Amino acid sequence: MGFFEKLKNGLKKTKENFTNKIDAILAGFGKVDEDLLEELEDALISSDFGYGMTEEIMQSLRKRIREQKITKAPDIKEAMQEIISDMLTFDDKNFFEIKDFPAVITVIGVNGVGKTTSIGKLAYYYKSNGKKVLLAAGDTFRAAAIDQLGIWADRAGVDMIRQGEGADPSAVLFDACRAAKARKTDVLICDTAGRLHNKKNLMAELGKMSRVVEKEMPDIHSETLLVLDATTGQNAVNQAREFSKVANITGIILTKLDGTSKGGIIVSICRELGIPVKLIGVGEGIDDLQPFVPQDYVKALF
């Protein structure tokens, strides 16, 4: 099964919740009027697009209706697709294509969102594309996190640098940077602790890890990716907002898109925070994490 088919299947719950509502609303109206627009607004809000994003979409839609003199309800659907696609596009920043190697990817996120799993899948993605990958087990707060990352390293067929539970994450990263240089690694992927409740400590920890990378591997491509769970809806937006206060996030990994009817959360994340979604997970398989393409998402959604 190609990834677009996986994406369509993964968005099935969102499609049932959102697109089918849109189709039913449009089928029930022969002409475009305010009653129709209010129904569409309710459908967007119930699909977790958020109040702010819903208002922005509806303003754009009303403008297009006036300018393009749209009078038939079915024509509304195409206009909505174009509006949502535009909202998700960040020039070339959407596309997760690292051209300069070696590169360091730091992965952050609260516990339980699929952070470790995403790292394993990301490692497999690069390994499958011919890159030499090394993992750094920087979440030393929990022994289980180190062990789980080790399992994913084995599944992906890549090496991992680790220390014991309670070790200094920066020390782990220092060892990993040295190993990455010695082994001529293309991509170093660093795990981090998922403790958001103590922002001061988290900020200090991430800052220290960042300085280690800058010192040991200067002038290389660096990404900081935040992992969010799509099933948490607007709470994912809140997490992104909090993490953006303590880290320079370059992109989002959105997991469990196949398990939610709230796929509209992607729009809220992109627009409210100005952070592009770069990778999405639509299944349990090791190859089910793929670069996010806004046009494909909207096409699959509608």
- The separation between CA 291 and the C-alpha centre of its own chain, rounded to angstroms, equals 9
Q: What is the pLDDT of residues 128-169, one digit of tens each?
A: 989 999 999 998 888 788 999 999 999 999 999 999 888 889
Q: What is the DSSP string of 138-162?
A: --TT-HHHHHHHHHHHHHHT-EEE-
Q: 6 Cβ partners below 8 Å, 6+ apart?
A: 282, 283, 288
How far apart CA 180 and CA 187 sit, in angstroms, is 8
Q: What is the pTM of this model?
A: 0.83
Q: For strand 133-136 and strand 159-161, is the pairing parallel, antiparallel, or unpaired? A: parallel
How far apart CA 138 and CA 170 sit, in angstroms, is 7
pLDDT of residue 141: 84
pLDDT of residue 4: 60
Lowest mean pLDDT across 129-138, 175-184, 226-235: 226-235
Q: Where are the beta strands (DSSP E) in 137-250?
A: 159-161, 187-191, 221-229
298's tokens: 């909207």
Q: What is the pLDDT of residues 33-64, one digit of tens each?
A: 888 899 888 888 877 777 888 888 899 999 99
Closest among 6, 50, 53 to 297, alpha carbons compared: 6
- The separation between CA 125 and the C-alpha centre of its own chain, rounded to angstroms, equals 15
126's tokens: 């690069």
Residue 27: φ, ψ to 5°: -70, -25
